Structure 1
Amino acid sequence: MLLLILAGVVCALGGYLYWIHRKQYRFADKWPTLKPVYPLLGNTLIMVGKTNVERFEVLRHVFRSTDRIIRLWAGPRLLLATSHPDLIQQILTNPYCLEKPFFYKFVGFHDGLFTAKYSIWKPTRKQLNPCFNQRVTNSFIPVFVRCAEKMVASLNECEDGATVNMLYYTSVCTVEMACGTTLGTDILDRKGKREFRQALNVASECVSRRMTCVHLYPDFTYRFTKLHKECNEARKTVVSYYTELVNERKEYLLKSNSISLSDNEEDATKPKILVDKLLTTFKEDGKPYTDKQITDNIYATMTGATDTGGLLTAYCCLFMAFYPEVQERLYAEITEYFPVDSTELDFSPETIKELKYTEMFLNEVQRHWTAVPQIARQNTAEIVIDGVTVPPGNIIIMSMIELHKRKDVWGADAEKFDPENFSPERVKGRHPFGFLPFSGGKRMCVGYRYGMLALKILMVHLVRSIKFSSKIKPEDAAFEHDLTLKLAFDAAVQFHKRKIGK
């Protein structure tokens, strides 16, 4: 009799919880659900036992499963997924969709711009925006040039015709750029850069693994795993590296009497790099930034600048190898403004702007191999998406890499690599949210000007000095699931030295 009563209670409780669950998510009944779905587990089994490459392909399949929105279930939690430009525009331009979902906290460093909750992000972004304006970004050109020159010099130490993993060189170069521009420190001859970069990779991979394992969402289970230990050790390596640089900068500012100045005083009109802004500026509440806030924002900026920049530069070299005719057109344009018979080159912002085809090429590389494949937002108030009223607290995942391959945006040849996709004639009339390599809306990447300028300068040095080929074919491309788009194999190219200089 007791067992019957207990069974009845369990059934009643289960029925009540199911009714609550249905009531909470009934609004989404219009949209299809990814299959198979299991009670309590949802769709989580689709990731079980998969390699990182298979996880990446599973996610691509999810976004290709519907034209508009598809429902996913992370256990009992609903996730909405889309790659449609109309819907992405509705989400990214909505003032109630500026919050990052809970799984961004897995990245750590919660006071940094990348992962911060909206209440922290908004005032911080407002204060730090001037560090990334065009004037400040242009002031970084000499740093970009020095780092690019050093990278090409390192490549030229290899035997002509050698096969190299370009990411090995580009990742170190972007670390040097980030330290020189974010921390105001020249690290060209400093040790520890490769260890720093490797630690960033490990931390990123650990976070992406946790995001696909629902049982690791709770901290009390995650902290007992090997993954937690690996991630913490990697983060310590990263933080210890740039903390030393921050302390050196702080000492320099103290000696130059700059540490006590705020933006309300006489230096208010002078542009500041990020570390100087964090060390010398009072927040809106009148208090200085804490050590944690400085650390978290440096981590967010350094990660973005080094990871995406290094990857995209290496991928540009591969795409030049894939398409020799594109490479020769790039060479013709770049050597027109940066002649091979000259060692005195004009890296003024005006000259760099003249590299129209180079910019088209960079955009097309980012369209095909988008550095940040997916982004997500959570609505903080009731919104309307695709004609459906969505209650607050729901999570929408958007695929940038699938958006960039949609035939209704890019035409029947969307899979074809063609820099002319970004010619003025084709850009005119294209959906304003059809190309989002740096996200979109108010919470788009703060460093997009920085990124494009650095890429152009790297391209000038690489294209003038080296001709690329590769045994890899475009159809060989395979990627691993990660926070950023990572090839499943080395970005291996054969390089052939060009003759430059007088």
Structure 2
Amino acid sequence: MLILLIVFVLGVSYYAYFRSTRGHLYELSRRLPSVGQLPLLGHTHWFIGGPERILNNIETLANKIEVSGGLGHVWIGPTIYAVIMNPEDIQTVLEKCLQKDASYKFLRTWLGNGLFVAPVDLWKIHRRLLLPMFHNRVVESYTEVFGKHSEVLVQRLQENVDGPEFDVFKYVTCCSLDIVFETAMGERMDLQRKPENKYVSARNAVMSIINMRLFKAWLQLDAIFNLTPYASVQKENIQLTHQFTDEVIRKKKLLKEKICASPTGYEVGRRRDILDMLLTRDSPFSDEQLREHIDSITIAGNDTTSLVVAYALVLLGSHMGEQDKVYKELKQIFGDSKRIPNKEDLNKMEYLERVIKETMRLYTVVPVIARQTQAELKLSTCTLPAGVGCAIVPFVLHRSKRLWGPDADDFRPDRFLPENSVDRHPCAFIPFSYGGRNCIGRYFGMLAMKSLLASILRTYEILAKPCGTLKIEILLIPVSGHRITLRKR
């Protein structure tokens, strides 16, 4: 009995201490509106269930906050998030809060301090050093790589012409991986012809486990996760991906030493990949840091690009008028020529670029952005204390009827004509995020997506039905896949 009394007193004392040290958070929750909150549980019950249910709940919560003023809060366990849906407040958060939220720690297990998840102080240094690798001139030097792999994609798709519907994403993602591996590391993987690859399998396994941890509260605790079989599977597959990249770096270093020892000190006519540029004589990066950055580039640069291309094909396949406009634009640029696109061709694809932007608006592949305040942050109607998570939901923001009009759910690429965009707030459309910590590879992604889509649409007519039910698995995924049928033009 005495033991039970002691446990009870200690429990009550800890709870009182816990509440007293977090008074500023409870005060914030009283100032910000909320919907669907339960005593003690907060909003945790909204994040239990399958990935379709969770995405639907996130959409419901964000929509209710968006229409009730654009600022609200959710409690997930003991953690409060300010949910920000006003473009003006979103701009403030993305410009001033450069620290990623604590939920990104699951990616840090894999990517270390790569650019995508690095703490702010380190990110500032490394972003400055990496920025020249993504200069427009450097990216434009890769257009031949984009075109070469796009031609292989067109050949691989031939097997589906006049056949039943199929999931085009698996074809596009192999093409995108071939592009990213060659431009980031100089590695020619030929995954389009040989898709079975240990590195890719390991990478997919790690992504699945990280996604599971993000949305299963009990697995977020390391003490519990480490007791499950998932922990050893994750460790094994992370080691496999690291070994692959470490070996590429080792080989690249030996090649650089050989080149430097040659009479000319360089290879005439050889295209430099990102790893080449990082391996300078006075490189500040350790081998571990090189691996973290290269892994981050290959992972972030592949999935997002592949998903946008696949969604664009489905949208064009279910909107034949818009597909005809794209084809006519491509015919004006290429005529009957079969050549691969160069940088001038890609820059002329103005309507196709609007199609890509409208695709990213309707199917925002990164549906949630999370940051953390490092100091007090003044927003339009309140001030957030330091240490608070900020959740922005572009997937809902981009379909807001308040921002985009009553036809917000319609596929209308011309909403991105300059005259239709002039009065739009810059943070009403943030597929590449915004501010200093926006996507460093956004120009790379746009040119690669144009090249892939142009190659496919010059060769094939696409037929498709809308994607249907969506789910969240870190990124935005259609439950039934990106299903299309093909006809030869």
Return the TM-score normalized by structure 1. Answer: 0.89
| Counterpart for residue 81 of structure 1 | 83
Provide the aligned C-alpha RMSD in A: 2.6
Tell me, in whole angstroms, the C-alpha distance in 1 between the residues paired with 2:198 and 2:470.
23
**Do the aligned partners of residues 191 and 240 (structure 1) sit closer, same or farther apart at CA in structure 2, a change above 3 Å counting?**
farther
Structure with more helix by fraction: 2
| Counterpart for residue 298 of structure 1 | 294
Deviation (angstroms), 1:361: 0.4
**Do the aligned partners of residues 223 and 325 (structure 1) sit closer, same or farther apart at CA in structure 2, a change above 3 Å counting?**
same
Aligned with 1:494: secondary structure?
strand
Q: Deviations over 1:438-463 (max 9, x none)?
A: 10000000000000000111111011
| Counterpart for residue 318 of structure 2 | 322
| Counterpart for residue 56 of structure 1 | 55
Asked if residue 100 in structure 1 is aligned to residue 100 in structure 2, the reply is yes
Asked if residue 452 in structure 1 is aligned to residue 446 in structure 2, the reply is yes
Equivalent of 1:205, from 205, 208, 213? 208
Aligned with 1:485: secondary structure?
strand
Tell me, in whole angstroms, the C-alpha distance in 2 between the residues paired with 1:350 and 1:54.
44
Instruction: Work out whether residues 44 and 213 of structure 1, in 8 Å CA contact, stay in contact via their aligned partners in 2.
Output: no
Equivalent of 2:167, from 141, 165, 168? 165
Aligned with 1:280: secondary structure?
coil
| Counterpart for residue 356 of structure 2 | 362
Q: Deviations over 1:351-395 (max 9, x none)?
A: 321111110001000100011111111111111123322221111
Deviation (angstroms), 1:398: 0.6
Instruction: Work out whether residues 104 and 117 of structure 2, in 8 Å CA contact, stay in contact via their aligned partners in 1.
Output: yes
**Do the aligned partners of residues 7 and 273 (structure 1) sit closer, same or farther apart at CA in structure 2, a change above 3 Å counting?**
same
Q: Deviations over 1:309-340 (max 9, x none)?
A: 1111111111111101111111000111012x
| Counterpart for residue 367 of structure 2 | 373
Deviation (angstroms), 1:290: 1.8
Tell me, in whole angstroms, the C-alpha distance in 2 between the residues paired with 1:152 and 1:491.
17
| Counterpart for residue 70 of structure 1 | 72
Aligned with 2:65: secondary structure?
coil
Q: Deviations over 1:63-88 (max 9, x none)?
A: 11212122111211211122221211
Identity %: 27
Tell me, in whole angstroms, the C-alpha distance in 2 between the residues paired with 1:343 and 1:11.
75
Deviates more, 1:291-300 or 1:476-485: 476-485
Equivalent of 1:333, from 329, 332, 336? 329
Q: Deviations over 1:451-489 (max 9, x none)?
A: 00001111110110010112x3x2x52222211111112
Deviation (angstroms), 1:187: 2.5
Residue identity opposite 1:427 in structure 2: S
Instruction: Work out whether residues 111 and 292 of structure 1, in 8 Å CA contact, stay in contact via their aligned partners in 2.
Output: no
Tell me, in whole angstroms, the C-alpha distance in 2 between the residues paired with 1:6 and 1:325.
70
Deviation (angstroms), 1:217: 2.5
| Counterpart for residue 247 of structure 1 | 250
| Number of equivalenced pairs | 479
**Do the aligned partners of residues 65 and 202 (structure 1) sit closer, same or farther apart at CA in structure 2, a change above 3 Å counting?**
farther
Asked if residue 487 in structure 1 is aligned to residue 487 in structure 2, the reply is no
Instruction: Work out whether residues 99 and 380 of structure 1, in 8 Å CA contact, stay in contact via their aligned partners in 2.
Output: yes
**Structure 1 residues not aligned, in runs of 5+:** 260-264
Deviation (angstroms), 1:194: 5.1
**Do the aligned partners of residues 104 and 279 (structure 1) sit closer, same or farther apart at CA in structure 2, a change above 3 Å counting?**
same
Return the TM-score normalized by structure 2. Answer: 0.91
Tell me, in whole angstroms, the C-alpha distance in 2 between the residues paired with 1:176 and 1:23.
50
Tell me, in whole angstroms, the C-alpha distance in 2 between the residues paired with 1:20 and 1:419.
50
Deviation (angstroms), 1:12: 4.9
Q: Deviations over 1:5-40 (max 9, x none)?
A: 87566545533432333344313422123423342x
**Do the aligned partners of residues 221 and 279 (structure 1) sit closer, same or farther apart at CA in structure 2, a change above 3 Å counting?**
farther
Instruction: Work out whether residues 438 and 448 of structure 1, in 8 Å CA contact, stay in contact via their aligned partners in 2.
Output: yes
Asked if residue 310 in structure 1 is aligned to residue 306 in structure 2, the reply is yes
| Counterpart for residue 32 of structure 2 | 31
Residue identity opposite 2:16 in structure 1: G
**Do the aligned partners of residues 32 and 92 (structure 1) sit closer, same or farther apart at CA in structure 2, a change above 3 Å counting?**
same
